[in-house]
């Protein structure tokens, strides 16, 4: 993780990064042969209905990440197009609409999550699901917790994930940690995930890259996916 410019380089000191490298953290985990794309929580509640500074965006939805989310959506859309073109699974774990029974430890920390109007739960049009794509409503951070995601992935023969969406420090991180625990290899495109805090975004990408997944820009992820597709085509010919 030292050498190429990374999103966390201006946040995590060189000394700390060198310590991690000396400990052997941050090696490449590699990727599998049958990928799926997770588009996590890309709903208007997480970006607002248009690009705007975050302090303006949270007046509309307190859960909004503002312009950071809209910046990431363009990269998420590139990945969605590629996966659809290759006929690989595109899966939409998303925040389920909150009802009274959802009051709990998380809402005690963040009361605003219980006050999102219904339109906030709609998928952002630029990356909205198409008919037949899997929708997974969830009530907790991880896309795996309380959902049939793992069962679906195993049944579809999926062995690896590209994880996009939000927030980097919350639902993305929780999903990647669970994916690693279940032995799914993951790529996290650093510009296709987003957070309300640039510092938290950078620190969590560093920690994910150190322990749980390979982190790279979307363009590098696309190149890897194209190479995987080319290998699959060659395998079919031989």
Cis peptide before 167 (omega within 30 of 0): yes
The Cα 226–Cα 86 span in angstroms is 9
Which residues sit opposite 187 in a β-bridge?
Answer: 162, 214
Q: Which of 65, 166, 171, 180 is labelled catalytic?
A: 171
Q: Compute the half-sphere exposure of residue 211: CA atoms within 13 Å on the CB side of its CA.
A: 13
Residue 174's contacts (CB-CB under 8 Å, 6 or more residues apart) are 140, 141, 142, 143, 145
166 is catalytic: no
The Cα 180–Cα 162 span in angstroms is 12
Contact 65, 46 (CB under 8 A): yes
Strand 90-95 relative to strand 35-40, pairing: parallel
Which residues form the catalytic set? Answer: 171
């Amino acid at each position: 993780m030292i050498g190429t410019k990374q999103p966390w380089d201006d946040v995590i000191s060189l000394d700390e990064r060198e310590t991690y490298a000396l400990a052997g953290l941050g090696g490449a985990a590699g990727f599998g042969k049958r990928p799926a794309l997770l588009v996590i929580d890309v709903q208007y509640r997480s970006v607002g209905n248009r690009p705007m500074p975050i302090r303006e965006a949270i007046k509309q939805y307190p859960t909004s990440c503002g312009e950071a989310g809209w910046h990431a959506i363009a990269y998420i859309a590139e990945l969605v197009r590629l996966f659809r073109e290759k006929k690989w699974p595109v899966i939409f774990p998303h925040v389920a609409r909150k009802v009274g029974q959802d009051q709990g430890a998380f809402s005690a920390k963040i009361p605003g999550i219980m006050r999102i109007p219904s339109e906030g739960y709609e998928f952002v049009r630029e990356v909205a699901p198409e008919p037949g794509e899997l929708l997974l409503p969830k009530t907790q951070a991880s896309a795996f917790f309380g959902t049939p995601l793992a069962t679906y992935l195993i049944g579809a023969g999926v062995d690896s994930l590209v994880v996009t969406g939000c927030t980097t420090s919350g639902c993305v991180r929780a999903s990647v940690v669970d994916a690693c625990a279940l032995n799914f290899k993951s790529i996290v495109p650093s510009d296709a995930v987003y957070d309300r805090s640039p510092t938290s975004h950078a620190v969590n990408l560093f920690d994910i890259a150190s322990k749980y997944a390979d982190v790279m820009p979307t363009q590098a992820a696309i190149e890897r996916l194209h190479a995987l597709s080319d290998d699959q085509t060659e395998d079919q010919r031989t």
